[in-house]
């Protein structure tokens, strides 16, 4: 079914352009507010439908020429939207989803990305070797498992694209009809601002990985490759590499562990967190901070370096090993790392009615959120909670629990970690309404 001359009224979370036909909501992939399009329905429901653009009848004034030629790639939603308009809609998403929960005065600040392109320090590619031994690599088409071959990625750092150019020239004909996943990470070199070194973690779709050493060696010979390993390799000791400095601390991580992809904005988030804690009534060497879903210590290492008593909780063994390495390398005496599931860790205190020693709790959960953790924190009553999230839907859901449990939102910060997509990182600072002298 074709809808002619559909006007796109606005953007909605998940990246769709929204128009209306006979009072029915039509969500159009890759459409931009202000577009007038002929739209083809791909999935129809009673009250709404999903569509793709058949033809742009009149382009939006906010539509720009994309620097990326791979329009069907599932990675980016807004490559053809002017960056200023992306910021406009992301601010609107946060205000609509999170700001609407706030009663009374609060601070909302939005941190834009310095770069709309060439910002990602890590990508995950799919690589297919066909029956004749020819290899292609790229990303899946949106909503499918169809591989879109690429030669470069416009939102990735130059070092990644240089690596991809060399990867395309390699010979993988010894592995015909095989599929791989490559996680490619940029590391700084010699503490310089411009990262140059590459790590690659390879996942094979085949169970038998015994004959992959030669495959790894081919990649390792590419210029500027720091290290290559198989995912899940437990036979060899972990290697740790320098990943930048912040707050007087040097950070190290092991290839394959989670790390934020927009390094500049990650430091801005750290600045905001550190500044708010220092300006609160939490005094270092006295106040205890609990960092849940802590990773390798992205947030807590600098806090501990500043003298705060920090307990970090993380389940992933590679991240825990990296956190221990960071504690050791920075000679930190005020931080411990607990290898545990964050939800179970908190549940133990709530269920057993144990004394809860932490005044401030940091949460930085995965996209699924931390609903159970928030319910237990309401019972445990820490004075302050800082919740960091990359998903507005689960963040809103979890904040409702905290707000119903006597917490109030004091400040909201949003960070455009992911230009050219609808995704947004948000940090919300909360305090208990009966806390004395709340200054955060």
Q: Any idea which fold 2-62 has?
A: OB fold (Dihydrolipoamide Acetyltransferase, E2P) (2.40.50)
Sheet holding 135-140, edge to edge: 147-149, 135-140, 122-129, 178-187, 197-204, 225-230
Pairing state of beta strands 24-29 and 48-58?
parallel
Among 112-121, 209-218, 337-346, 408-417, the minimum mean pLDDT is found in: 209-218
pLDDT at 440: 36
pLDDT at 423: 95
Instruction: Give the tokens for residue 17.
Output: 């352009």
- Evaluate whether 292 touches 365 at the Cβ level (below 8 Å): yes
What totals of helices (H) and strands (E) does the chain contain, helices first?
Answer: 9, 21
**Residues 6 or more apart whose Cβ sits within 8 Å of residue 2:** 38, 39, 40, 41, 54
How open is the CA angle 183-75-111, to the nearest 5 degrees? 95
Helices (H), 199-337: 213-220, 263-278, 300-305, 317-329
Q: What is the model's pLDDT at position 285?
A: 60
Q: Give tens-digit pLDDT for 344-363.
A: 999 999 988 888 999 999 99
Closest alpha carbon to 150 in 176, 125, 119, 172:
125
- So what's the pLDDT on residue 73? 85
Name the architecture of domain 87-115+262-432.
3-Layer(aba) Sandwich (3.40)
Mapping DSSP to helix (H, G, I), strand (E, B) and coil, where does residue 135 land? Answer: strand
pLDDT of the residue at 436 = 42
- Tell me the average pLDDT across 201-209: 84
Domain 122-230, CATH class in plain words: mainly beta
Q: What average pLDDT does range 4-10 have in this prediction?
A: 97
Confidence of residue 190 (pLDDT cuts 50, 70, 90): low
Q: How far is CA 11 from the centre of its chain?
A: 21
Nearest in space to 253 (alpha carbons), one of 239, 264, 266: 239
Q: What is the pLDDT of residues 260-311, one digit of tens each?
A: 999 999 999 999 999 999 887 776 666 799 999 999 999 999 999 999 999 9
Confidence band, pLDDT 50/70/90 cuts, at residue 370 = very high
* pLDDT, averaged across the chain: 92
- Which tens digits make up the pLDDT trace of 171-182? 999 999 999 999
Burial class (CB in 10 A: 0-12, 13-18, 19+), 437: exposed
Mean pLDDT, residues 385-399 = 97
Q: Count how many Cα atoms sit within 13 Å of the Cα of residue 110 in the half-sphere of its side chain.
A: 15
Segment (H or E) for 139:
strand 135-140
Answer yes or no: is pLDDT of 411 > 80: yes
Predicted local confidence at residue 437, as pLDDT: 40
**Residues above pLDDT 90, as percent of the chain:** 81
Token pair listed for 128:
């297919």
Q: Quick check: 372 pLDDT over 50?
A: yes
pLDDT tens per residue across span 26-79: 999 999 999 999 999 999 999 999 999 999 999 999 999 999 999 888 889 899
Domain with CATH 3.40.50.150 in the chain: 87-115+262-432
Residue 384 has pLDDT above 90, yes or no: yes
DSSP annotation string for 342-375: HHHHHHHHHHHT-----SEEEE---TT--HHHHH
pLDDT, position 438: 39
Rounded Cα–Cα distance for residues 414 and 412 (Å): 7
Decide: 224 and 197 in contact? Cβ < 8 Å. Answer: yes
Give yes or no for residue 397 having a pLDDT over 50: yes
Q: What is the pLDDT of residue 364?
A: 97
CATH 2.40.50.140 residue ranges in the chain? 2-62
* pLDDT for residue 335 is more than 60: yes
At residue 198, does pLDDT exceed 90?
yes
């Amino acid at each position: 079914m074709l809808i002619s001359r559909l006007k796109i009224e606005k953007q909605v979370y998940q990246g769709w352009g929204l128009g209306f036909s006979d009072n029915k909501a039509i969500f159009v992939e890759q459409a931009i507010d202000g577009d007038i399009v002929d739209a083809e329905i791909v999935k129809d429901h009673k009250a709404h439908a999903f569509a793709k653009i058949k033809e742009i009848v009149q382009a939006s004034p906010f539509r720009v020429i994309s620097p990326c030629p791979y329009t069907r790639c599932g990675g980016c939603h807004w490559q053809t939207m002017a960056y200023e308009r992306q910021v406009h809609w992301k601010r609107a998403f946060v205000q609509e989803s999170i700001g609407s929960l706030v009663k009374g005065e609060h601070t909302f600040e939005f941190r834009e990305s310095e770069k709309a392109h060439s910002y990602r320090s890590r990508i995950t590619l799919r690589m297919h070797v066909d029956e004749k031994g020819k290899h292609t690599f790229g990303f899946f088409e949106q909503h499918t498992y169809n591989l879109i071959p690429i030669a470069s990625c416009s939102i990735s750092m130059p070092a990644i694209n240089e690596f991809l150019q060399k990867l395309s020239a390699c010979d993988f004909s010894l592995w015909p009809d095989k599929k791989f996943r490559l996680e490619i990470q940029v590391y700084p070199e010699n503490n310089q601002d411009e990262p140059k070194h590459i790590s690659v973690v390879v996942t094979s779709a085949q169970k038998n990985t015994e004959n992959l050493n030669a495959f790894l060696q081919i990649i390792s010979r590419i210029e500027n490759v720091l290290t290559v390993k198989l995912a899940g390799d437990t036979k060899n000791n972990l290697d740790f590499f320098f990943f930048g400095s912040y707050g007087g601390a040097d950070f190290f991580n092991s290839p394959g562990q989670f790390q934020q992809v927009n390094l500049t904005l990650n430091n801005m988030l750290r600045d905001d967190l550190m500044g708010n804690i220092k300006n609160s009534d939490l005094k270092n060497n006295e106040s205890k901070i609990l960092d849940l879903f802590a990773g390798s210590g992205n947030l807590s290492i600098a806090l501990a370096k500043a003298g705060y008593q920090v307990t970090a909780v993380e389940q992933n063994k590679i991240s825990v090993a990296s956190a221990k390495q960071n504690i050791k390398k920075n000679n930190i005496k005020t931080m411990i790392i607990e290898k545990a599931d964050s939800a179970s860790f908190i549940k133990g205190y709530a269920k057993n009615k144990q004394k809860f020693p932490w005044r401030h709790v940091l949460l930085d959960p995965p996209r699924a959120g931390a609903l159970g953790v928030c319910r237990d924190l309401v019972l445990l009553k820490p004075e302050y909670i800082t919740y960091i999230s990359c998903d507005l839907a689960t963040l809103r859901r979890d904040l409702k629990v905290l707000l119903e449990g006597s917490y109030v939102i004091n400040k909201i910060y949003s960070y455009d970690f992911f230009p050219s997509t609808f995704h947004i990182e948000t940090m919300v600072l909360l305090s208990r309404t009966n806390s004395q002298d709340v200054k955060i």
